[in-house]
A and B are shown apart, each in its own frame.
Chain A
Amino acid sequence: MGLMYLMVVVLLAASGYSYFDNNERRLHVINFCAAVLTAGCSLIIAYLVSANNVVLGEYVYIDAISAVLLLAIGILALSGVTVSVEYLRRENLPVRKKGQYYFLLQLFILSMILVVILDNAGLTWVAIEATTIVSALLVVFHLSRQSLEAAWKYVIICSIGICFALLGTILLYYAQVNAVGAETATLNWQSLRVAAPIFEPKLAVLAFLFILIGYGTKAGLAPMHTWLPDAHSQAPAPISALLSGGLIATAVYALVRNVIIFKLVLQPAIWQGLLVFFSLLSIVIVIPFMYKQNDLKRLLAYSSIEHIGIITLGLVGDCYLAAYGMIFHILNHAINKSVLFYLTGEIILVFKTKHVSRITQLFSKTPKLGWLLFLGMASIVGLPPFSVFFSKLYILFGLMAGGRYVVAVVALLAIAVIFMLMLKTVMQMCCGGIGGEKMHSRPSPVVIAVATLMLLILLIMGLILPNPLQQLLHNAAIIIAG
């Protein structure tokens, strides 16, 4: 509990400090230290939760699901701030602007952490809306025309989406008030779960529909995904990593919490049918956009939409194996996608282009960057022995175990097509083509080190899953599968 408060206070202090300080060196050091503390706290909390119990407070509730998300956000915070230090050091910007960047970045990390630790459907909604507000300012950080357009789309579409989620949450509250009376209805996740079986079913259908559309918009589920490729491709590289790895995972978290409640009252045909529709559409719809996609960051953004679809398929499975795969996949995707965005940011800086066709012969021009990008891509499309392969496998097995063969086969086919498209693109960049851009600078050793470490984590999680982590994932899967 104390660690929780420490983490919140550290993040608040670092963000407030960054806003006022004028010494660039000190800014980098302080923010890096804050990130180390945040990551350390989240690691310890995850360990404590895996050991036995849950962390409880008046408004705070951390069980295994929150702990996994917290772990992912902790890793992203540390790597994201480290890469940001490198990124800002080489940007020619006034110190004040860099301070504002850190101010927003720390608030962004804080808002994501609040989403996963708050014990209340309403407060979680508030925290998710806060992530939109802060991250929109980070997307427009460079104030270019494209980023303004992306941010406008992002705020308007996500605000509409989040209004839907609020409508759903109000109806949920109404259902709870009807079920247990106004005095005891508090929208706590725990009390909701207890009261769920006596909700009025028709009201629950309506509430679930609105909540699914709302948080689905924020998570980037098709067909509400149109803001995602723009926002994720226009943001600065470290921010893209946090958006793709962390932000959409927190929206999925809110969805998961709600599904745990609604599946106690709704017919399986209704909630599973809706989820199947949205997740399969997300996986399939990206294929034409990924085919011949010439913008590297947009390619990765579309891949995020696909992975969100895979994660929500894990919810559809509604059994232990699928739930285990899903929560594992959230963690894997957060780490893997952020690595790819860090590397992409570095490639864009080195070659001064983000067009896939202009980037050639990475293996011979800059072998380290080339190999890391290749391995990262191989991991995200699901090549063993990286852990992403296993989490995808568990989800598909879980679907088949639940008798959903058609869904599993369609998903598998789409994943195979995306596998080919992404590997083709990365092979072209790494060893194909002639000419292309010259290197304008050398890649930063810090970013290469961060990427190597994170890929190693994925490799280790694929080969030998550490015992506490396995326990954590096991507990989370039990909570989700019921």
Chain B
Amino acid sequence: MSQDKPSKELRLINPRPRTLIDRPTHFCPGCHHGIIHRLVAEAIDYFGVREKAIGVASVGCSVFLYDYMDTDVLEAPHGRASAAATGMRRAQPDKIIYTYQGDGDLAAIGTSEIIHTANRGETITVVFVNNTNYGMTGGQMAPTTLLGQKTTTTPYGRDFRRDGYPIRMAELLATLEGVAFSARGAVNKPANVRRTRELIRRAFEVQIKGIGLGFVEVLSACPTDWGLTPLNAIKRVEEELIPYYPLGIFKDKKEADHL
């Protein structure tokens, strides 16, 4: 039985992506925004498009994208990122446009904008962070809040008779002709991080190839507003979120067949 000797020289095998700014994070302990930022940055690096990438940040914790991504960034009003990205796409056909939006932003106040942007088949990439609540405003109910989940505005738990059902955006958007790629990932464990890295990369690839809109929903922990430790928050993603929000690819067009 032979084994390679461990090298005495430490080697960095997974360096910080060029597109991710080197700075201390301000996000809460156990928050997944940092991991997701990194995956977006890696995708931009992979295609070598940092200098022609423009991010569109939204309202909520997701707005701070602009503190971490070393690309041009526009801050859009709450829910309107995909409409602003449409205006950018039309004005700059040669650029790489990506939005980064939370679940209150995209799945509540911005539903109209995302559905019509997707339906027009705008060649943009949409990264949708679903942490089942409004994080920045202190943990209110989001359209994605699970049934029974306690939030500051569902103190007795979300009740479908009053609040309706948690909305599955990746599946919903997959039904639209203009969407080239729609998938859901998670970053609660290394295997899921690796899978989600590929999903985000593909969501950029369909833009670069002009096939249509690329959409990735990423399940994210919000330990602070869930009232859980980071470890228990990761467990909740696995045990409660993933059973309701299945991981996978719901649509992957190989070419722009709607044209």
Genuine A/B complex = no
Binding site for B on A (CB under 8 A): none
Task: Report B's interface with A, CB cutoff 8 A.
Answer: none
